[in-house]
């Protein structure tokens, strides 16, 4: 899916880039790529220095039913019954979700003529939670999500892959 957004509705600032340094599961010092990879903060400019805010900009997003995927993992790997984090391990579901996202990116480029895609808006200081809220989608951040088998409530467990598309300042 893709949706045009007014540039003033794209929340961004340098502080968002520092979120990469916050600790998370098995990473007490934050993302190991921060300051290492060229495409990661602090090596990246803010989004307004990447996309031309005078031209149209689109949020390109892919909804992935991670709960459905996790249920298949739960059923296929009974040895993980005490470890729901394994069912939701991003290394298992992200390749499929990224493939779907590439399809959405291709469609957006073909239909709009975008010339610049920003695959990780957070690296350019974009607050993705607020960005998605501005287009009517509320993100849930608890991880792993609660996996409720009763009435297939796990089907409500979704994630979004989010990119921004527009035209580069050099175009």
Q: What is the mean pLDDT of the chain?
A: 94
In a domain, residue 171? The reply is: no
Read off the pLDDT of each residue in 18-38 and give the average, rounded to a whole number.
90
Residue 167 CA to residue 77 CA, distance in Å, equals 45
- Please, which pLDDT band fits residue 54 given cuts at 50, 70 and 90? very high
Range of the domain at 143: 2-166
In a domain, residue 152? The reply is: yes
In a domain, residue 23? The reply is: yes
> How many structural domains are present in the chain?
1
Q: What is the pLDDT of residue 15?
A: 92
pTM of the model: 0.92
For 128-139, what is each residue's pLDDT tens digit? 999 999 999 999
- Please, which pLDDT band fits residue 171 given cuts at 50, 70 and 90? low
Read off the pLDDT of each residue in 74-95 and give the average, rounded to a whole number.
92
Res 26 pLDDT > 60: yes
Residue 117 CA to residue 171 CA, distance in Å, equals 13
Other beta carbons within 10 angstroms of residue 64's beta carbon come to: 19
């Amino acid at each position: 899916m893709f949706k045009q957004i007014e540039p003033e509705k794209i929340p961004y600032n340098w502080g968002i880039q520092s979120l990469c340094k916050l600790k998370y599961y098995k990473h007490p010092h934050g993302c190991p790529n921060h300051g290492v990879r060229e495409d990661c903060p602090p090596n990246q400019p803010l989004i307004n220095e990447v996309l031309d805010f005078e031209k149209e900009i689109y949020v390109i997003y892919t909804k992935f039913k991670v709960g459905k995927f996790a249920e298949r993992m739960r059923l296929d790997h009974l040895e993980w019954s005490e470890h729901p984090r394994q069912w939701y391990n991003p290394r298992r579901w992200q390749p499929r979700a990224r493939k779907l996202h590439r399809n959405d990116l291709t469609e957006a480029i073909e239909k709009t003529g975008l010339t610049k895609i920003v695959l990780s808006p957070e690296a350019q200081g974009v607050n993705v939670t607020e960005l998605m809220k501005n287009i009517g989608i509320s993100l849930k951040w608890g991880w792993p999500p609660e996996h409720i088998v009763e009435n297939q409530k796990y089907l409500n467990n979704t994630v979004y892959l989010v990119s921004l598309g527009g035209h580069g300042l050099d175009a």
